[in-house]
Amino acid sequence: MEKKITRIVLTGGPAAGKTTLVSRILHEFRQEDGWRVITIPETATELISGFGIRPFGGCMSMLAFQDFVVADQVHKEKLALQAAQVVQEENILILYDRALMDDKAYISDDEFREVLSRVAGKTEDEVLAGYDAVLHLVTCAKGAEFAYNLGNEARTESLEYAREMDDRTLRAWSGHPNLRVIDNSVNFEDKINRALKEIYRIVGQEEHTSEKRKYLIEMPDLDALVTRFNGLALDMMQTYLQPTKPDVERRIRQQKNGEDYLYFYTEKHQNADGARWDTEKPISEKEYIRYLMEMDNSLHSVRKTKYRLTCQGVRMEIDVYPFDHEKAILFVYAAEEKPLPPEIKVIREVTGDMAYKNKQLARTQKL
């Protein structure tokens, strides 16, 4: 079977939600479902944070900096396409956290065309043709100012500058025929869900429902369920961190993925008006270990094995905790109530019950 490779650029102004969206995409388009997601991190941030070169502070001009950015971006995009041909999965999603046309927002049009021709040997039309779709996530500085933060240490943008760069970035990508704009019209969670809906449309797949019900169940025969429904078991450990800001809950997660481990950093926010939103980003093992030094010692780390399975088209997850051998937690993702497999015995529904939230389980260690 010929591989299906879909190339999607995630762009937009500062603090737009791109990192959180990447994390959600990795959760939705899973390897066990036949997907391989290849991510290309933001090149300018890598150069600033990793190499120490920057277009400010007397290091170099913005124009000179673009030579580095374009050259590195072209190299990474070439490697990503080569990797897509090598991996065993047939469905490949390449995510670009910003891409070549973003550089046009920082220099003049003539300067950009000159850099692009000299460093990459390409025209703007040739560059645009290299991406299947572009999602422009509008900066939180436009319509969701309360959520704007400077969490990326490589950035120092004010609200005004963030708005300006959002406009300039949208203009830079305006020539792409499959450009989608995701604004801040409702709330952050809705924004991410709308972006995910667009990605499902782009890849030609039916969107997974985001509605979730939660049940306390008797411990089922997990081996039988895994065998019957071709399920998958994932080992996870979630650790809560000491708070550094009011109304912001911080945590890290280690997740086993085959023989490897994935690591994530999550912040759960709430503003004075009661609005809630989450931000999450993948982190390295080194960053994960560093965050462990900030562990909230008043809470236990929450260890669990998550069993994922699909029954009659309905996605389900069963969380099993080492501190309880008689009960487990079942999540059902469906727009309406569906009959459960007879092997699953429900004790009661606990959707929204604070006693069964992960943070409470970190305190009590009991179901």
- Mean of per-residue pLDDT scores for the chain: 87
Q: Please, what's the largest Cα pairwise distance for the chain?
A: 68
pLDDT tens digit sequence for 135-165: 999 988 888 776 665 444 444 567 888 899 9
> Considering the entire predicted model, what is its pTM?
0.70
Does the structure show a pLDDT above 50 at 7?
Answer: yes
CA 232 to CA 178: how far, in whole Å? 35
Amino acid letter, 94: I
Residue 150: per-residue pLDDT: 44
Structure token digits, residue 127: 């560059």
Distance (Å) of CA 74 to CA 82, 97, 268: 13, 13, 35
Does the structure show a pLDDT above 50 at 229?
Answer: yes
pLDDT tens digit sequence for 28-37: 888 777 889 9
pLDDT tens digit sequence for 297-309: 999 999 999 998 8
What order do you get walking across the sheet with 133-137 strand by strand? 35-40, 91-97, 4-12, 133-137, 179-182
Residue 215: per-residue pLDDT: 95
Does the structure show a pLDDT above 60 at 202?
Answer: yes
Residue 258: per-residue pLDDT: 67
Domain 212-364 falls under CATH 2.40.320.10:
yes
Among 7-21, 165-179, 198-212, the range scoring the smallest mean pLDDT is 198-212
In the chain, CATH 3.40.50.300 sits at 4-203
What is the total residue count of the chain?
A: 367
CA 295 to CA 215: how far, in whole Å? 29
Which residue, chain included where needed, has tokens 């502070």? 57
Note the CATH number of domain 4-203.
3.40.50.300
CA 309 to CA 316: how far, in whole Å? 5
pLDDT, greater one: 125 or 157: 125
Residue 176: per-residue pLDDT: 93
CA 28 to CA 11: how far, in whole Å? 20
Q: What percent of the chain has pLDDT over 70?
A: 93
Alpha-carbon 229 to chain mean position: 27
Distance (Å) of CA 195 to CA 164, 184, 275: 22, 11, 20
Residue 155: per-residue pLDDT: 47
pLDDT tens digit sequence for 47-106: 888 888 888 777 788 999 999 999 999 999 999 999 999 998 999 999 999 999 999 999
Highest mean pLDDT among 54-63, 271-280, 287-296 belongs to 287-296
Amino acid letter, 207: E
User: Residue 91 half-sphere exposure, CB side, CA atoms within 13 Å?
Assistant: 12
Residue 153: per-residue pLDDT: 45
For residues 203-217, give the mean pLDDT.
80
In the chain, CATH 2.40.320.10 sits at 212-364
pLDDT, greater one: 117 or 57: 117
The string of DSSP codes covering 156-224 is: ---HHHHHHHHHHHHHHTTT-TTEEEE--SS-HHHHHHHHHHHHHHHHT-PPPP--EEEEEEE---HHH
Residue 367: per-residue pLDDT: 92
pLDDT band at 2 (very low <50, low <70, confident <90, very high): confident
Q: What percent of the chain has pLDDT over 90?
A: 53
Of 319, 334, 345, 358, nearest to 233 by C-alpha is: 319
Of 85, 173, 159, nearest to 128 by C-alpha is: 173
For residues 209-232, give the mean pLDDT.
86
